[in-house]
Amino acid sequence: MQLDRALNAYLRHITIERGLSEHSIAAYRRDLNGYVDWLAAQDIETTDAITQAVVAAFIAERSAADPPPAATSLARLQSSVRGWHRFLAREGIDQDDPTGRLRPPKTPRRLPKALTIEQVEQRWRRPRRTSPSASAIAPCSSCCTRPVRASPRPSRSMSTTSPMVTCCGCAARATRSASCRWAPTRGRPSTPT
């Protein structure tokens, strides 16, 4: 298949079927247009003529550019090329995937950012979290006498405006406005009145 037709088919695939964002599609288009231009400069006009050696030569040439590209840029470029060739092989356009043995470059491991002295002092001044207090585990007086645990942190399903607690497994739910006085207020357990 002609390079331009194969590239358009892949860009259509990542746009419609994979639903990638506009920025991702623009990055794929930019990387693959550079790859197709390089292939055209090497007198390669169809996808059948691309071999592992051709792909390796392209990556080596991009790696040796001056100034050298960042390892993350090379990894993104290789990911784009690998994705395109996998698509062509999966769709039956090409018989073989020439990028099957291509390994992405190792990205450098970065050290964590250091805290400033002010940030360390601020963290030392913060009160430490302790285990839930006894008031967090108490009987739910509205439905039964078995203990109920009110979490100090609301779960993702809990709303901060109307926190809820499940009473002791009996499937009853209580909010602040209901009769259960153990329902948490803004993620913290309230004390009985």
The 10s digit of each residue's pLDDT in 13-27 is 999 999 899 999 999
| pTM of the complete model | 0.55
CA pair distance 85, 39, nearest whole angstrom: 14
Q: How many CB atoms lie within 10 A of CB 71?
A: 14
Length of the chain, please?
Answer: 193
- What is the arithmetic mean of pLDDT over 138-146? 49
Beta carbons within 8 Å of 118's beta carbon, 6+ residues apart: none
pLDDT of residue 178: 44
What's domain 3-90's superfamily in CATH? Answer: Tyrosine recombinase, N-terminal domain (1.10.150.130)
Long-range (24+ apart) CB contacts under 8 A made by 92-97 are 93/1, 93/6, 93/9, 93/47, 94/1, 94/47, 94/48, 94/50, 95/48
Q: How many CB atoms lie within 10 A of CB 111?
A: 6
Q: Name residue 174's beta-bridge partners.
A: 165
**Selected residue with higher pLDDT from 119 and 152:** 119
Name the residue among 129, 128, 148 with its Cα closest to residue 138: 148
Q: How many CB atoms lie within 10 A of CB 16?
A: 9
Beta carbons within 8 Å of 172's beta carbon, 6+ residues apart: 140, 142, 143, 166
The full set of domain ranges for the chain reads: 3-90, 134-193
